[in-house]
Amino acid sequence: MGINEFDALKPKVGRRSFLKMTAIATAAGATAAFANEGVTREATEEEVKNPFPGSQKVKTVCTACSVGCGIIAEVQNGVWVRQEVAQDHPISLGGHCCKGADMIDMVRSEVRLKQPMVKEKGQWKRLTWDDALDRIANKMKTAHETVGPDSAMFLGSAKMCNEQAYYFRKFAAMYGTNNIDHQARI
Partner 1 sequence: MANTWGYGAMTNSLGDIQNAKAIIIFGANPAVNHPVGFQHFLKAKERNNAPIIVIDPVFTKTAAKADHYVRIRPGTDIAFMYGMLHIIFKNGWEDKEFIKNRVYAMDDIKAEAEKWTPEKTADVTGVPVAKIIQVTKLYANASVGTLIWAMGLTQHSIGTSNTRLAPILQLALGNMGKEGGGTNILRGHDNVQGATDMGCLSDTLPGYYGLSEGSWKYFASSWGVDFDWLQGRFKSAEWMGKKGFTLARWWAGALNGKDGNDKIHNAGTALKNLFVMGNGITSIAQQAKVKEGLDNLDMLVLCDPFVNEAAILTDKQDDVFILPTATQFETSGTVVATNRSVQWRNQVVEPLYESKPDHWIMFELAKRLGFYDQYTQGLKIKENKKEYKWPEDATDEIARIIKTIGLTGWTAKRVKRHSENWHMFDQVTGRGYGKMKGEYYGLPWPCWTETHSGSPVLYNTSRSVAEGGMGFRNRFGLEHDGIDLLAAEGSAPKNSSVEGGYPEINKDNIEKVLGITLTADEKAKIGKNWKVDKSNIIVEKCMEKGIAPYGNAKARAKVWTFPDQIPMHREPLHSQRADLAKEFPTFEDKENHFRVDTKYISKQTEQEWVKDFPINLVTGRLVNMNGAGMENRASKYLAALTPEMFCDINPDLAGRHGIRDGAMMWIHSPEGTKIKVKAKYSHSVSDDRIFIPFHFAGYFQGEDRTGNFPAGTKPYASGESANTVTNYGYDIITQIPETKGGLCRIEHAEEEA
Partner 2 sequence: MGEYARMNFFCDERRCIKCDGCSVACAEAHELPDYISRRKVITMHEGIENMEYSLSIACMHCTDAPCQQVCPVDCFYIREDGIVLHDKDKCIGCAYCLYACPFGAPQFPLDGAFGTKGVMDKCTMCAGGPEETNSHAERELYGQNRISEGKVPVCAAMCSTKALLVGDSASISDIYRERVLSAGHGVTKQPYGWDVAYGNKK
Interface ranges with partner 2 (CB under 8 A): 1-3, 6, 9-11, 13, 15, 18-21, 24-25, 30-41, 43-44, 46-51, 82-83, 85, 87, 92-102, 104-105
CA 83, CA 21: separation in Å to the nearest integer? 17
Q: What's the DSSP call for residue 11?
A: P
Q: How far is the CB of 48 from partner 1 (least distance, A)?
A: 22
Give which of partner 1, partner 2, none residue 16 binds (C-beta under 5 to 8 Å, depending on kind).
none
CA 184, CA 186: separation in Å to the nearest integer? 6
Q: How far is the CB of 133 from partner 2 (least distance, A)?
A: 35
Instruction: Say which residues have a Cβ less than 8 Å from residue 155's Cβ, sequence separation at least 6.
Output: 180, 181, 182
Taking the least distance from each CB to partner 1, the nearer of 17 and 94 is: 94
58 sits in the region (left: phi over 0; alpha: psi -120 to 50; else beta) called beta
Taking the least distance from each CB to partner 2, the nearer of 82 and 141 is: 82
Taking the least distance from each CB to partner 2, the nearer of 103 and 172 is: 103
